[in-house]
Structure 1
Amino acid sequence: MSHMQPESTIQADVLDGLDHQLVTALQTSPRARWEQIGAAIGVDATTAARRWRRLTEAGHAWLSCHPAGIGPVPPVVAIVEVDCTAGSLHQVAAAIVDDPHLITIDHVTGSRDLILTGVFPDHSALARYVGLRLEALPGVAATRSQIASAVHAVGSRWRLDRLAPDGREALTPDQPGGGAVLRRGLSSADALDHHLLALLGEDCRTSAALLAERTGASPSTVRRRLDRFHRADALIYRCEVARYLSGWPVAVTLWGVAPPDATARITGQLIAQRETRLCASLSGPHNLLLTVWLRSMEDMSAFETRLYARFPELTITDRAVTLWPLKLAGQILDPQGRRIRGVPVSFWHDPAAERTEEDLIRRLAEPRDPVPGRLPGTPDQA
């Protein structure tokens, strides 16, 4: 194990090597005790906790978690592209940034203005959101939606990888090492489960003792529930760092077309790429979506060249560079990618949209005469 290191002052726009080790340790084991985190990076527990507090207060790094899905049916993950009228992009973004089911919102280059990643309980909820919420907003010119038939990798699996091997071995990962996002989740949940999930969404490092105090359950009951969450892979933990401080300041989303019989092989290798943050199979004409973090804009051409060399059957059909990651895993960010505040992740529920849908269904249920100008019930003329 490395020897104890002195704490240095965190500069406004620079993270040093110890900061990167700290973030990597918390990415590996978000709920580890500060004594474990400190031992993994070579400092004492007090120093590790104090340094993390300063990082979070500056918005440079943060921890979060949210449920992976509750219920017998896996959630629907959708990618929605939004075109905005001139001058309305920020108005639209401000209107939807608190929608709890939107995991990410990116302002991007190219033939769309915003890319949204959302989670819905079913297809009808997606239709309701797009048709009765998004497209009704002032400033929205058009939308295009695709459903992720499989999500192979997400950013919660991405690591800075700054820990030495002995530091990694000192920590027990809080989640399995696989890449799948459409997880088992919880087939059912009671009131205590929901209360615990809500509290963990506020602070995923809350101890079992404090969770017990706040829920009124016994510590042993809380620990059993936490073990159940972890066994079911029902929580997605995120430890993120502002992208401009991560060493990977450029985010690019790529759309591609792969032969159906080659998709599994290609995605299996793409999720192992160091740059990959998101990899999903889509329902539309572009059946593969890939989001990568790169060291520089110059790396984009080199990355695509490597893709073509490795997967000649894969055709990249479009690409977009993220200009402002407005929302990342439920956290609202400034243009530099620093955290401003969090939005608890949950399914969207809008009584106004539901009433509008009910009115539409009632109108659809009323028969209309197919001949213009003829009164209902008038017989055909010979």
Structure 2
Amino acid sequence: MLSDTGYPGAVGSDTYDLIDRQLVHALQLAPRAAFSRLAAVLGVSDQTVARRYGRLRGAGAVRVLGLTDPERLGEARWQLRVRCAPDSAGAVAAALARREDTVWVSLNSGGTEISCTTRTPPERADHSLLLQHLPRTPSVLSVAAHCVLHTFFGGAQSLVAKSGALSAEQVAALAPDGPETAGSDSPVPELDATDRRLLGVLAVDGRAPLAELAAACGKSESTVRRRLEELTSSGALYFDLDVDWRIFGLRSHTCLWLNVVPSELAAAGEALAAHPEVAYACATTGPSNLHAVVITRGARELYTYLTTRVAALSGVQHVETAPTIRTVKGPGPLPLPSPRDI
């Protein structure tokens, strides 16, 4: 059974506390850190961290994911808006979520519109999902496709980092010893079949032990450790969290589509990226050239955000809002159902 956020078995917000929020923030900063290191920064015992993490992960409230960066791999990304007949949108969204080339599939605007992101490797430029499958799908009324041109906030950058759950001293204590990722001009290693197996395991569990990763790759643990460092330092691999935002008291998800004067697009996108409410922001093709995902406590906070921060953006000519009814798929593969959900 899916919760109202789309995650199986998510627990109520009244069961979350500061330690939970601090642990999630710490995992965003140091996703593969040992429980002992996380515990030292949080000022609690190793057992407390292990118990809290096990509870959050078991409830589907937090997943640590190792993901590939589409921009670093040269993949084309498209933001899709699929309008369906009301009685079929759920089934179409579920079908889209099962595809390997989709992420962030959600039902919006009263359950008649689906939004999702597709990723197409450079060697497969036919965009078959866009050009063939969706338009021929029964009950699909229209498909609008916006090519992502530039990401202002998202990917390795997370809304969790804006939460303020950890102090500046705690954030500094979890900072990596060296640069986490390389610059945009750094070479990206060519991925082979062994890398694909490694990345497949990390996409499901970013905290998978080295022994498990080595077994999946058929390599030694030292070899896998070096490859992890290479992929991460090149920016091809990053770690993110799939989060039930009720941990932070946030319940309202909204997609924004803004039409911005081209000369103001970069400035508006950078301003959006700095807003504490914005979980994702990108420039796209199409009549709405700036897209954002906003997460707030509720409708009142969304109204305040739209009439203050968004209203103050320079060059915005039109704003369309599409509330998210249910998130069907997040940034990684669909999680396997727990035994109680079968």
TM-score category of the 2 structures, normalised to the smaller one: 0.7 to 0.9
Larger radius of gyration: 1
CA deviation map 1:73-106 (0-9, x unaligned) = 6111101111112311112122222101111111
Report what 1:318 is aligned to. 320
* Residue of structure 2 equivalent to 1:132: 132
CA contact (8 A) 1:68 1:183 kept: no
Counterpart AA for 1:45: D
* Partner in structure 2 of residue 287 of structure 1: 289
Question: 1:78·1:145 contact (CA, 8 Å) conserved in 2?
Answer: yes
Question: Which residue matches 2:202?
Answer: 200
Asked whether the 8 Å contact 1:275–1:294 carries over to 2, the reply is yes
The alignment's TM-score, normalised by the length of structure 1, stands at 0.76
Number of aligned pairs?
A: 324
How big is the alpha-carbon RMSD for the aligned residues of Structure 1 and Structure 2?
2.9
- CA distance in 2 between partners of 1:281 and 1:312 (Å): 15
Aligned counterparts of 2:333 and 2:244: Cα–Cα separation in 1? 11
CA distance in 2, matches of 1:281, 1:94: 27
Matched, 1:277 2:279: yes
Give the structure 2 partner of residue 255 of structure 1.
Answer: 257
TM-fit CA distance, 1:184? 6.9
The whole-number CA distance in structure 1 between the counterparts of 2:128 and 2:81 is 16
Give the drift of 1:135. 2.0
Query: Matched residues in 2 for 1:41 and 1:228: separation?
Result: 29
Structure 1 residue 43 corresponds to structure 2 residue 44: yes
1:186: Cα distance to partner? 3.1
Q: Per the alignment, do residues 278 and 225 of structure 1 end up closer, same or farther by CA in structure 2, a change over 3 Å counting?
A: same
Are the equivalent residues in 1 in contact too, given 2:198–2:216 (CA < 8 A)? no
Q: For residues 59 and 70 of structure 1, what CA distance do their matches in structure 2 show? A: 28
Q: 5 Å matches for 1:34-113?
A: 34-69=35-70, 74-109=74-109, 113=113
- Whole-Å Cα distance in 2 between the matches of residues 238 and 23 of structure 1? 11
Q: Do the aligned partners of 1:174 and 1:230 also contact (CA within 8 Å) in 2?
A: no
Helix, strand or coil at the partner of 1:251: strand
What per-residue deviation string (whole Å, max 9, x for no partner) do you get for residues 168-224 of structure 1? 22213599789x9x9978351223322221222232112334433443323332222
CA distance in 2, matches of 1:163, 1:319: 31
Deviation at 1:123, TM superposition (A): 9.8
Distance in 1 of aligned mates of 2:185 and 2:27: 22
Q: What is the CA-CA distance between 1:110 and the residue it aligns to?
A: 6.4
**Aligned to 1:310, what secondary structure does the other structure show?**
coil
For 1:187 and 1:69, locate their aligned partners in 2 and report how far apart those are by CA, in whole Å: 14
Q: Distance in 1 between the 2:21 and 2:313 partners? A: 33
Letter in 1 for 2:289: N
The answer to whether structure 1 residue 163 and structure 2 residue 171 are counterparts is: no
Q: Name the CA distance, whole Å, in 2 between partners of 1:285 and 1:251.
A: 22
Give distance in 1, aligned partners of 2:236 and 2:299: 36
1:328-347 superposed matches below 5 A: 328-332=330-334, 340=337
Counterpart of 1:360?
A: none
CA distance in 2, matches of 1:302, 1:175: 40
SS in structure 2 of the partner of residue 135 of structure 1: helix
2: CA distance, partners of 1:194 / 1:281: 29
The one-character-per-residue Cα deviations of 1:138-157 (angstroms, maximum 9, x if unpaired) are 22122111101112211652
Show structure 1 runs of 5+ residues with no match. Answer: 1-9, 334-338, 342-382
8 Å CA contact retained: 2:70, 2:76 = no
Q: What is the match of residue 355 of structure 1?
A: none
Change (3 A) 1:85 1:128: same
CA distance in 2, matches of 1:91, 1:203: 27
Q: Tell me the amino acid that sits aligned with residue 55 of structure 1.
A: L
What's the counterpart of residue 152 of structure 1? Answer: 152
SS of the residue 1:271 aligns to:
helix
Amino acid at match of 2:146: Q
Shift of residue 291 of structure 1?
1.0
Instruction: Letter of the 1:27 partner, please give it.
Output: Q
Per the alignment, in what secondary structure is the counterpart of residue 198 of structure 2?
Answer: helix
| Alignment match, 1:237 | 239
For the 8 Å contact 1:175–1:230, the answer to whether it is kept is no
Equivalent pair of 1:69/1:185 in contact (CA under 8 Å): no
Q: 1:145 and 1:320, CA in 2 relative to 1: closer, same or farther beyond 3 A?
A: same
> How much does 1:257 deviate?
1.6
Amino acid at match of 2:43: G
d(CA) in 2 for partners of 1:308, 1:216? 51
Residues in 2 aligned to 1:308 and 1:81: alpha-carbon distance in whole angstroms: 22
Residue identity in the other structure for 1:163: L
Unmatched 5+ stretches in structure 2: 1-9
Separation in structure 1 between the aligned mates of residue 108 and residue 71 of structure 2, nearest angstrom: 31
CA distance 1:306–1:208, change in 2 (3 Å): same
Change over 3 Å in CA distance of 1:20–1:213 after alignment to 2? same
